[in-house]
Homo-oligomer: A and B are copies of this chain.
């Protein structure tokens, strides 16, 4: 059934079609059931929970500090790969962390293209202080699920990411 040329005056026809579709269920598109839409909402909820516990750092900023704490000094590009940010995004994140004195950057001695990034003592203090809060945020995000459900969810989510 072609709809390409449907004009605005076809309301009656559309209603009839809607009725037909309601019966066979084939043509009703429910945005609220689409994985992308729900994924976006779940992500929004997590970000809001994060902000309510850790107000002065965003999840991407926290991710950068946590990864630097985990692996130590690395290049901006490599850091971006590890925390799933493209070059333009990671630059902005690092710039803001640098402005706040939580990371410091230096030039790579051998490969002059690379910009090395590392925690400052203040950055290390901050991330070590915040990690317990981050654990609590993870718990709270998963709170609507039982422990078994949470494990299942994380396993399946990881397959999609």
Seen from chain A, the residues whose Cβ lies within 8 Å of a Cβ on chain B are 3-8, 29-31, 33-47, 50, 59, 63, 66-67, 69-70, 83-84, 120-121, 124-125, 128-129, 131, 134-135, 137-138, 141-142, 144-145, 149, 152-154, 156-161
Q: In the complex, are the beta carbons of B36 and A50 less than 8 A apart?
A: yes
Q: Which 8 A-B pairs have the closest CB atoms?
A: A8-B121, A41-B161, A42-B161, A153-B156, A144-B159, A3-B128, A36-B46, A42-B160
Which residues on the B side are within 8 Å of A4 (C-beta)? 125, 129
Q: In the complex, are the beta carbons of B131 and A29 less than 8 A apart?
A: yes
Which residues on the B side are within 8 Å of A149 (C-beta)? 156, 159
Do most interface residues of chain A lie in helix, strand or loop, or is the interface mixed? helix
In the complex, what's the smallest C-beta–C-beta distance from A113 to chain B, in angstroms?
26
> A29-B70, A125-B6, A156-B149 are known contacts. Are A63 and B45 too (CB-CB below 8 A)?
no
Which residues on the B side are within 8 Å of A43 (C-beta)? 36, 39-40, 43
Which residues on the B side are within 8 Å of A35 (C-beta)? 46, 138, 141-142, 153-154, 157
Which residues on the B side are within 8 Å of A70 (C-beta)? 29-31
Cβ 8 A contact of A6, one of B37, B67, B121: B121
Q: In the complex, are the beta carbons of B161 and A153 less than 8 A apart?
A: no
Complex CA gap A8/B154 in Å reads: 35
Cβ 8 A contact of A34, one of B7, B42, B134: B134
Complex CA gap A6/B69 in Å reads: 13
Complex CA gap A32/B125 in Å reads: 21
